[in-house]
Amino acid sequence: MRLVLIRHGQTRSNVLGLLDTSVPGPGLTDLGLEQAAALPAALADHPIDALYASTQHRSQLTAAPLAADRRLPIQVRDGLREIGAGELEMLGDEESIRTYLSTVGRWMGGSLDVRMPGGPDGAQVLARFDEVIVGIEEELQSIVGPRGSAVVVAHGAVLRFWASVRARNLEGTFGIRRPLHNTGMITLDGGSGKGWTAVNWTGVALGGAGLDDGAADGPAGEPAGWQVDGPAG
């Protein structure tokens, strides 16, 4: 099957550089709404059999124009939510952001037992995202067979983490070094049984340069400029 992972559109917390991971979270800015509105045209050549979003409001708003265009329901799954920031929630200082991203980076490097301060460890995050993906595979298999295609609209940190760990052709820490701006896209082929292969990593907005604002896409969208294999603090 084909799995198309798309990060949500811009939010006010992205603009402010905050670690905003709570549910349901903020809506979209005017730019975020424009980014979402550009998705149907950007994905016009992509077959889509099912559309999923997290329980966070921004992902559902981002998926809405595509759902209307393809006449598909948005299937909401809690396991697609962003990696919880725990004690770092709604902080935007350099040390807090470094702690959050370096913790995710250590997970990518294989240290899944490391815990986000006051939040989950990597194994917990990976397991709940895996559970949703397996469910999507089973649903598509029953509808269209093994060649189905699903779009998942979720969040920067969790998408970078999951794709880096699960794609056989990516180095584990690939996602911490590559951006995933608002409405950036990662495409994978394969399945949970035989493994996933990343075929595309579009780190900028799908709607084109005019809709991309990397300076205001929040901590979860930017690559880390430091080592990720040391202590997360």
The domain that contains 96 carries what CATH number?
A: 3.40.50.1240
**What confidence score (pLDDT) does residue 111 get?**
97
Q: Is 208 within a domain? A: yes
Domain that holds residue 216: 2-221
Domain contains 228: no
Cβ distance 74 to 167 under 8 Å? Answer: no
Looking at the structure of the chain, the number of domains it has is: 1
In a domain, 191, yes or no: yes
Residue 9 lies in a domain: yes
H helices present in 51-150, as ranges: 57-70, 94-108, 122-143
Q: Is the peptide bond before 24 cis (omega within 30 degrees of 0)?
A: yes
8 A C-beta contact, residue 91 and residue 79: no
This prediction has a pTM of 0.95
pLDDT for 222: 82
What per-residue confidence (pLDDT) applies to 225? 55
CA–CA separation, 171 and 47 (whole Å): 28
Q: What whole-number distance in Å separates Cα of residue 32 and Cα of residue 212?
A: 10
Question: Within a domain: residue 230?
Answer: no
226 within some domain: no
Give the position of tokens 């077959």.
47
Per-residue pLDDT of the chain (233 residues), as tens digits, is 999 999 999 999 999 999 999 999 999 999 999 999 999 999 999 999 999 999 999 999 999 999 999 999 999 999 999 999 999 999 999 999 999 999 999 999 999 999 999 999 999 999 999 999 999 999 999 999 889 999 999 999 999 999 999 999 999 889 999 999 999 999 999 999 999 999 999 999 999 999 999 999 999 998 875 445 433 32
232 is a domain residue: no
Q: What angle do CA 224, 174, 194 make, to 5 degrees?
A: 150
d(CA 10, CA 34): 9
Q: Is residue 47 part of a domain?
A: yes
Structure tokens at 91: 């902080």
Distance, in Å, from the CA atom of 99 to the CA atom of 165, rounded to the nearest integer, reads 20
